[in-house]
Amino acid sequence: MTVKIATWTDWTDYFEAWKREIGMVGDHIGQYRFEALFGETHPEVEFGDFKGEHKWETVLEIPDQRIRDACEYLIAVQGDTEFASVEQQRQLYDTAPSDYDFRTLARVNREEMRHGYQMAYLLVHYFGDSGRREAQKLLERRAFKRSRLLGSFNEDVDNWIDFLVFTQFIDRDGKFQLKMLSRSAFSPLARSIPPMLKEESFHLGTGNDGIKRIIRAGKVPIPLLQKYFNKWLATAYDLFGVDHSGSAQWSYVYGLKARYDEAENPAPADRTQLNEHARGLFVAEVRALVESANRLIPEGEPRVTIPDVRFNRKIGGYAGQPWSVDGRLLSPEEHARHLREVLPQPEDVELANSFMKERDWIAPKKSDDSPS
């Protein structure tokens, strides 16, 4: 059946069909109501070449077609990641280690769907025919067919170790991306972000707390957990984009995407190093979290580490280069062996999946708080 999105109702009907296809119905959704939510934003453009001008409330106010196209693309990419992550995690419910974790997964998935819904709302309501086409595509690409726009969102999430490391690192990248969009000169996009960031904080807490629960339980070998760190952090580095990015520079010039620390950083932006700057802040934040997790590991046991930023990169200047997790340049043959040693292999996935059959592989959550 050929589908053409002409109205918002058309899109929401298509959204319902997508949910049914991937199994996000029943207890996964409950009585949750999907809606577009908006917060506050500064009335004036806060950075870039239009700084000080009034933010654009409609697409017609955007002064250049190139800016309009760039804005539409940023929204489409953000929406694509939201629906993709739900597709990646859709098969984890049967192995949830507790009722709390089942509810946590359901909440994370509902909120990711709402974030995708929010981006589709912007595309359909503000960007005309091209926006409606992009909103339709959000529901047609599939993570499990490797057709999502960004590499991280075409990776398999096989088990709950995958999920918790994903929410710790990939959702943390999502926080960075959202905060950079929160100061956008396109006001409807900027106002979309505060509710999304509030919801995203729960996802980050799920990952950070979940990793600590894994360590406290002492059942999952640290070297196995490390392989999942290597898997997801390498692809998280890619999510910040290529170095010396022209598109990042223009997004800043146009006032569409700020630096992560725009409000706190008085120095002029190095517009040639915007992706590198954001990635560096991400690495610093992740390193502190990993150090905190290591304090839970008994003396004499191996520690978890973060891989070198050049390791296993798929885009940018280091793409395809044979760097090791600890920053050594290897021969192609050494690198092939190294990847087999430091990334989850089929036998590692089988071992991780075997833990899912038990209840004590992860410690109970300490707090009495439960997600709703």
- Domains belonging to the chain, first-starting first, are 8-355 (1.10.620.20)
For the full predicted model, state whether its pTM sits above 0.75: yes
From CA 232, how far away is CA 165, in angstroms rounded? 7
Could you read off the pLDDT of 205-255 as tens digits, one per residue?
999 999 999 999 999 999 999 999 999 999 999 999 999 999 999 999 999
Distances (CA, A) of 74 to 19, 170, 247: 24, 17, 10
Contacting residues for 97 by C-beta, under 8 A, at least 6 apart: 160, 356, 359, 361, 362
Q: What is the DSSP letter of 254?
A: T
What interhelical angle do 65-89 and 128-138 show, nearest 10?
A: 20
Q: What is the model's pLDDT at position 359?
A: 84
DSSP string, 76-112: HHHHHHHHHHHHHHTT-GGG-SSHHHHHHHHHHHHHH
Q: What is the model's pLDDT at position 367?
A: 62
pLDDT at 324 over 90: yes
> What is the mean pLDDT of the segment spanning 3-12?
95
Could you read off the pLDDT of 92-117 as tens digits, one per residue?
999 999 999 999 999 999 999 999 99
- Which amino acid is residue 193, in one-letter code? I
pLDDT at 371 over 60: no
Contacting residues for 88 by C-beta, under 8 A, at least 6 apart: 143, 144, 153, 155, 156, 157, 166
**Assigned token pair, 342:** 């430091």
**Assigned token pair, 191:** 């106002």
Residues 87 and 144: beta-carbon distance below 8 Å: yes
User: What pLDDT band is residue 54 in, cutting at 50, 70 and 90?
Assistant: very high
User: What pLDDT band is residue 26 in, cutting at 50, 70 and 90?
Assistant: confident
> What is the mean pLDDT of the segment spanning 269-281?
98
Contacting residues for 321 by C-beta, under 8 A, at least 6 apart: 310, 313, 329
**How large a percentage of the chain has pLDDT more than 90?**
94
User: What pLDDT band is residue 372 in, cutting at 50, 70 and 90?
Assistant: very low
Residues 277 and 245: beta-carbon distance below 8 Å: no
Q: Closest Cα partner for 159 from 82, 235, 94, 205?
A: 94
> What is the mean pLDDT of the segment spanning 76-88?
98
